[in-house]
Structure 1
Amino acid sequence: MVGGAQQVRVALAQVDAAQAVSAKEQQAVAHEHTLGEIARASARQLQAQQEQRQALELRLAALDAKEHKELTDAQAENDRLQRLYAGADAERKRLRIEARVAANDRVVSDTAGAGSVGNGASVELSERAGSAVWNIRGGMISDRAKLAYLQGYVCEQRPDIEACKKRE
C-alpha cells in the first residue's frame, strides 16, 4: 500500500495546489473589483469638479459682463459730462463746488459761536483745475469698477469669506 499512500499524498497536494490557485484567482478578482470601484469613484469626483468649474466660469463670465457694462456706462456718462463742460462758454466752464465749512475753520467775527457750521460757500475752480476734476472723477469711476469686479471675483471663488456673506 505504499504506492497507494503515495497516490493519496499526490492527490491531496494537487487539491491543495488547486485550492491555492483558486484562492489567488479570487484575490485577483476581488482586487480587480476594488480597483474598478476606486476608478468609478474617481470618475464621479472628477465629473463633479468639472461641473463646479464650468458653473464657476459661467458665474465669472456673467460678473465680468455686468461689471464691464457698469464701467462702460459710467465712463460714457463721465465723457458726456466732460464734453458738456468743454462745450460751455467761459462763464459756465468754471466748476463751482458748494462747500460747508465749520465756522472755526474760517475767518469769522467774534460773535459767531465756535464749532457752528456756517452757510454754504461757493468755491470756483479754474478751467485747468476743473478739467483735472473730470480726470480724477474718471479715474475714481474706473477704480471703483475694478474694485467691485475683484471683490465679486473673490466672492465667487470663496463665498465662505465673511465679507462675501455680507454682500448678499
Structure 2
Amino acid sequence: MNIYLTAPLIVTVLALGWAADHYHSKAIAWRTTARQSQQLAKRQATTITDMTQRQQQLTALDKTHTEALSAAESENDALRRQLAAGTRRMYVHAKCPVSGTGTTTAASGLVNGAAVELATDSRRNILDIRAGIIRDREKLKYLQDYVRTQCLK
C-alpha cells in the first residue's frame, strides 16, 4: 500500500520539479531579454539626446554666421549706395611708373603717391569682389566652426 501512495507522490514531485525548472529557465531568458532591451533603449535615448544637442548647436552656429554674413553684406550694400549717391568716394593710392629721364609721365599728370578716384565701373567691380570675399570668409568661418564643434568631438 505504501507503494501506491509513494509512486504518485514521486511522480508529482518530479512533475513539479520539471515545471519549476522549465519556468525558471524561461524567467532567466525573459530577464536577459529585458536587460538587453533596457540597454538598447538607454543607448537610443543617449543617441537621440546627442543628436538633439548637435542640432541645437548647428542651429545656433547657422544663426550666428547668417547674421554675420547679413551684417557684412548690409555694410557692403550701404557702401555701394553711398558711392552711387556721391556721399562717399573711392580712391586708390597709386604710384606712377618713372620714365627713363627720372620724371613722372607727363600724360598722366599725376605725382607718385597721389590719390586717384576710381571710375564707376571699377568701383562696382571692386565692391562685387569685396562682396565675394566677405561671403567666402563667412562660409570659411562657418565651416571651421562646424568642424571644431561637430567633427572633432
Whether these two folds match at TM > 0.5 is: yes
Indicate which of 54, 70, 80 corresponds to 1:82: 80
Residues 108 and 40 (structure 1), Cα distance of their counterparts in 2 relative to 1, 3 Å cut: farther
Which residue is equivalent to 1:145? 138
CA shift, 1:18, in A, is 2.2
Which residue is equivalent to 2:65? 67
Distance 1:41 1:85 in 2: 65
CA shift, 1:43, in A, is 1.8
CA shift, 1:30, in A, is 1.2
Which residue is equivalent to 1:56? 54
Per-residue CA deviation, residues 113-163 of structure 1 (Å, 9 max, x unaligned), is xxxxxx867666432122101001011111211222222223332124xxx
Aligned pairs (5 A) from 1:83-122: 83-88=81-86, 95-98=90-93
Distance 1:124 1:154 in 2: 42
Question: How many residues in Structure 1 have an aligned counterpart in Structure 2?
Answer: 144
Greater mean alpha carbon deviation, residues 74-83 or residues 12-21 = 12-21
Q: Between the two proteins, what is the percent identity of the paired residues?
A: 28
CA shift, 1:10, in A, is 5.5
Structure 2 gaps of 5+ residues are: 101-111
Residues 121 and 159 (structure 1), Cα distance of their counterparts in 2 relative to 1, 3 Å cut: farther
CA shift, 1:33, in A, is 1.3
Which residue type is aligned with residue 80 of structure 1?
A
Which residue is equivalent to 1:154? 147
Which residue is equivalent to 1:44? 42
Distance 2:6 2:113 in 1: 119
Which residue type is aligned with residue 31 of structure 1?
A
Distance 2:94 2:141 in 1: 29
Residues 125 and 22 (structure 1), Cα distance of their counterparts in 2 relative to 1, 3 Å cut: same
After TM superposition, the score normalised by the length of structure 2 is 0.74
Structure 1 gaps of 5+ residues are: 101-105, 110-118, 161-168
Distance 1:19 1:45 in 2: 39
Distance 1:27 1:108 in 2: 103
Residues 127 and 31 (structure 1), Cα distance of their counterparts in 2 relative to 1, 3 Å cut: same
Per-residue CA deviation, residues 52-74 of structure 1 (Å, 9 max, x unaligned), is 11111111111111101100110
Distance 2:44 2:54 in 1: 15
Residues 17 and 124 (structure 1), Cα distance of their counterparts in 2 relative to 1, 3 Å cut: same
